[in-house]
Chain A
Amino acid sequence: MSGVRRRINVGLLTDETIGPGDWILIHVGFALSKIDESEARAALEFLEGIGQAYEDELRALQESP
């Protein structure tokens, strides 16, 4: 993470396949959860959408007589 390396116990993620490049949630030296990239993308898209809708509204307000 930002160039910081750490040893983590991944014993709690035996149900998942994890490999280099995966992002995981760590807590007190253990990996608790693997980040679901598609969910992350969906969350970011929602936020982008909110941002866009807000800008559209602002513009509409400015353009109205």
Chain B
Amino acid sequence: MTLDVREERVLQRIEKARARPARLRDERITLAYGSGGKATATLVEAVFLDAFRNEALEPLEDQALLRAGPARLAFTTDSYVVSPLFFPGGDIGDLAVNGTVNDLAVSGARPRWLSAGFILEEGFPVADLTRIVASMARAAAAAGVEVVTGDTKVVQRGKADGCYINTAGVGVLETPVRLGAARARPGDDVIVSGPVGDHGITVMLARGDLDIEADVRSDTAPLHDLVASMLDGADDGVHALRDATRGGVATVVNEMARASNVSVVIEEGSLPVRPEVVGACEILGIDPLYVACEGRLVAVVDPAATPAVLGRMHAHPLGVGAAVIGRVGDDPPGVVLLRTAFGGTRIVDMLVGDPLPRIC
């Protein structure tokens, strides 16, 4: 098959354009900026990184790695604005603990302490708050972390959608682990810890505006124990770890491909997805690769270490469905491809904003 020279030249021009730092053109924030895709990345780079620039922030990982004397700490924060607040499999409280625990866990740190800041809407039922806080206490105990400080604010009726929560977390790096999105190497295996898309679909259906019912539950869970199990005896074989939250597996894999300047080929047939999630995605016209998870991680692993790592994962309750879904290559750099079950190939790019359902 011969290359079309003109097309190749256009594609090179595009790659150069993509490599340039993104500029923020909008005057107002739109919903797209919150979905974890390209728009979010542009906002972070153009506004936050620009103003706060410092060594700890630059890598833009899920957490910052800090030194305090001999101690190596991981520090992260996340805000939880999910609607509805309660859904099959958990509630905003579970997310608020597990989400932050996971951001710490994927650096190899042991999560230790959380802060919890609440923004409550005037009129919010105390019973609901009690229920949420009970979930947080349970989740914290299960994760082995303590909520050591917090804050409460109340805003007027109509704001805060009932309840917004921010949690910040501190973890301790106890072993000399070196993980990072920039450490993927050609030949590495890409592993996902279980079926994808459960959380996003659950929340979409729980909103109740679609007349759709399915037996799906959020996958929210603390992953630090699974991570510890994977790292133990992997001998530096695990190169990168991320938890797949908003934007799904596709976003996380793209971030890694870009940070490491490698390509990734995902095998559609190997991607674990529950049939109910497949069905719901087909009806809604969205792609499971982009649907949020809350208890799944993506690992990039040296192929020599894969059997051991996968074995550890399968032996852990949260890694039972773990599978190798793809492989790291060197060309085209920074690009993620999908080999479809049908045998063709296509690109899996980051979305601009939230996945919008197709109608046709």
Contact = CB atoms under 8 A, between A and B. Distances in A.
Indicate if A touches B (C-beta under 8 A).
yes
Interface of A: 1-7, 26-29
Nearest to B360: A27
B291 interface: no
B214 A7 contact: no
Interface in B148-170: none
A2 B279 CA distance: 5
B211 A4 contact: no
B213 A5 contact: yes
Nearest to A2: B279
A28 B284 CA distance: 9
A6 B212 CA distance: 4
Interface in B244-290: 275-276, 278-280, 282-283
Contact of B279 (A1, A7, A28): A1
Nearest to A28: B359
B275 A2 contact: yes
A9 to B, nearest CB: 10
Contact of A5 (B212, B278, B282, B359): B212
Interface of B: 210-215, 275-276, 278-280, 282-283, 359
Contacts of A26: 283
A2 B212 contact: no
Contact of B214 (A4, A27, A28, A29): A4
A10 to B, nearest CB: 13
B280 A4 contact: yes
A6 B282 CA distance: 12
A3 B276 contact: yes
Contacts of A27: 359
Most buried by B among A4, A28, A29: A4
Nearest to A5: B213
B227 to A, nearest CB: 31
Nearest to B211: A7
A1 to B, nearest CB: 4
A20 B211 CA distance: 19
B197 to A, nearest CB: 12
B211 A1 contact: no
Contacts of A3: 214-215, 275-276, 279
Contacts of A4: 212-214, 276, 279-280, 283
A-B residue pairs, 10 tightest by C-beta: A2-B279, A7-B211, A4-B279, A2-B275, A4-B214, A1-B279, A5-B213, A3-B276, A6-B212, A4-B280
Contact of A2 (B210, B276, B359): B276
Nearest to B212: A6
